[in-house]
Structure 1
Amino acid sequence: MFSHIFSSLTAYLLTSFLLTLTPGPDALLVMRTSITGGRRKGLGVVCGIASAWLLWGLAAMGGLSALVVVSKTGFQLLKWIGVLYLVWLALRMLFNSAQTAPMLNLESEALTGAGSPGPEPASGFWASWRQGLLATLTNPFVGLMVCAFFPQFIPPGSNIAAFTLLLTLLQMAVALVVFGSLVVLTVPLGRFLTRPSVARAFDWVTGLLLLAFSVKLALATVPR
């Protein structure tokens, strides 16, 4: 029994890492927030993403996420909420890029240690946490992964609810490691990435990619 559990968890972790490494709106949000807001806000988004995974896992244990996947109405409702949220994020980046570029010069000094920036308010972390939470919580394909992907790694005879919770906690750990590493790698590039011309280009590219993700989500149908 132990060997089955160990092999299932090993296979799950490997697959989970590969899926999390796949570029998506979460990774874009982590990178953009880390560039413009620094390490604290970047980690806020990462913690928000991990928190959303926990909520999806608890919903799966209660059967709610299964209802979203099976119910056409539930899937469509959550899908369009997710589309609107991605579009809002994208338009905010596209229209604010010109206005925020001058401010990014000041932020780049904070990211690279120049000047004497004051301590960042705690609200910055929690605002970013909410952003990461909503981005993942309004993605119906996360619910699909919990309902369709998790069961493949639950050994026969195991307690389904307990094992679902274990896989959820492991997915949270994977998200924290992968996206946390992305924050650590992105922040040192702050001085270059926050130059006005580079910042505007990055915001435009990120905004357009988020719009593309929103279109892809809008065209999605209930999985069979």
Structure 2
Amino acid sequence: MISPFISSVSAFFMTAALIDIPPGLELLLAISTTTTIGRRAGIGVGIGVGFGIFTWCIASIIGLSDLVMASPKIFQLIKWVGIAYLVWIALNFIWSAVRNTDPMKENPTHKHIAKQNTLFAGFKQGYFTSVLNPNVALMFLVIFTPFIPHGQPFKPWTLFYGISESLMEAGYLVLVAFLAAPMTRLLRNDRVRDWFEGIAGFILLLIALQIALTSAPN
């Protein structure tokens, strides 16, 4: 017979992998940052997303995520600040494509990152994208909590799952950044880069719309 602990942990890692791997906001951000800015910034995005997830983990442990979900006003505030940030990134992608400008030189969204192309510059973009996404808090409260073995303490298991998910997501996005780096040469072609940025911006707008339709659980 399989131990309840092994069963719960195995189910958690399988679920986390199914959540992390499919294309989504973080994956798109890592790829677009790597290909238009540079590998170091793309790696920074992955690390930043991981820290953003861990921030929500700590918030869940000390009860802040419960407060966010229980208070419609706080939930809406975080949600709409995050949406505004996503829309800002998306519109700058689209504006760069329309103007046919090099984002490494002209795009205000990437100007600071392009100037330094550091891990920290990408980290900030990844971190704020993750920490301003209330769906991450929803993930801890609704999806991961049921995987805590029956009768076990909430905080240690939430911390374990939070660290695991942070490392899994960050590792996955860092790997994506390394794999996406060769695409930089292809995107030196103005036409290809314009299409890529336009599509990336449009998808980010759709993701922002999806988040806008998210409501706090009852």
Q: TM-score, normalised by structure 2?
A: 0.89
- In 1, Cα distance between equivalents of 2:104 and 2:51: 33
- In 1, Cα distance between equivalents of 2:188 and 2:51: 29
Structure 1 residue 221: Cα displacement: 2.1
Structure 1 residue 28: Cα displacement: 0.8
Find the residue that maps to 1:23 and give its secondary structure: coil
Q: Which residue of 2 aligns with 1:113?
A: none
Q: More helix per residue: 1 or 2?
A: 1
Alignment of 1:64-103 (within 5 A): 64-97=64-97, 98-100=100-102
Q: Alignment identity in percent?
A: 32
Amino acid at match of 2:132: T
Amino acid at match of 1:193: L
Structure 1 residue 176: Cα displacement: 2.0
Q: Which residue of 2 aligns with 1:25?
A: 25
- In 2, Cα distance between equivalents of 1:123 and 1:63: 36
Could you list the per-position Cα deviations for residues 32-55 of structure 1 after superposition, in whole angstroms to 9, with x for gaps in the alignment? 011022221111000000000111
- In 1, Cα distance between equivalents of 2:187 and 2:102: 13
Alignment of 1:120-199 (within 5 A): 124-199=118-193
The 3 A distance-change label for structure 1 pair 102 and 163 is closer
Q: Which residue of 1 aligns with 2:110?
A: none
Could you list the per-position Cα deviations for residues 163-184 of structure 1 after superposition, in whole angstroms to 9, with x for gaps in the alignment? 1000001101210222122112
Amino acid at match of 2:9: L
The 3 A distance-change label for structure 1 pair 134 and 40 is same
Structure 1 residue 102: Cα displacement: 8.3
Q: Does 1:214 align with 2:205?
A: no
Please tell me whether the aligned partners of residues 37 and 117 of structure 2 are also in contact (alpha carbons under 8 angstroms). Answer: no
Please tell me whether the aligned partners of residues 35 and 194 of structure 1 are also in contact (alpha carbons under 8 angstroms). Answer: no
- In 2, Cα distance between equivalents of 1:223 and 1:70: 8
Q: TM-score, normalised by structure 1?
A: 0.87
Structure 1 residue 58: Cα displacement: 0.3
Find the residue that maps to 1:222 and give its secondary structure: coil
Provide structure 2 residue ranges, at least 5 long, that are not aligned to the other structure: 107-113
Runs of 4+ in structure 1 deviating by more than 6 angstroms, as ranges, are: 120-123
Structure 1 residue 216: Cα displacement: 1.7
Please tell me whether the aligned partners of residues 46 and 171 of structure 2 are also in contact (alpha carbons under 8 angstroms). Answer: no
Structure 1 residue 57: Cα displacement: 0.3
Find the residue that maps to 2:7 and give its secondary structure: helix
Q: Which residue of 2 aligns with 1:114?
A: none
- In 2, Cα distance between equivalents of 1:6 and 1:183: 32
- In 2, Cα distance between equivalents of 1:48 and 1:128: 7
Q: How many residues matched?
A: 208
- In 1, Cα distance between equivalents of 2:52 and 2:145: 19
| Between 12-21 and 180-189, the greater mean CA deviation after superposition | 180-189
Find the residue that maps to 1:100 and give its secondary structure: coil
**RMSD over aligned Cα atoms:** 2.0
The 3 A distance-change label for structure 1 pair 123 and 193 is closer
| Between 80-89 and 19-28, the greater mean CA deviation after superposition | 19-28
Find the residue that maps to 1:99 and give its secondary structure: coil
Provide structure 1 residue ranges, at least 5 long, that are not aligned to the other structure: 105-119
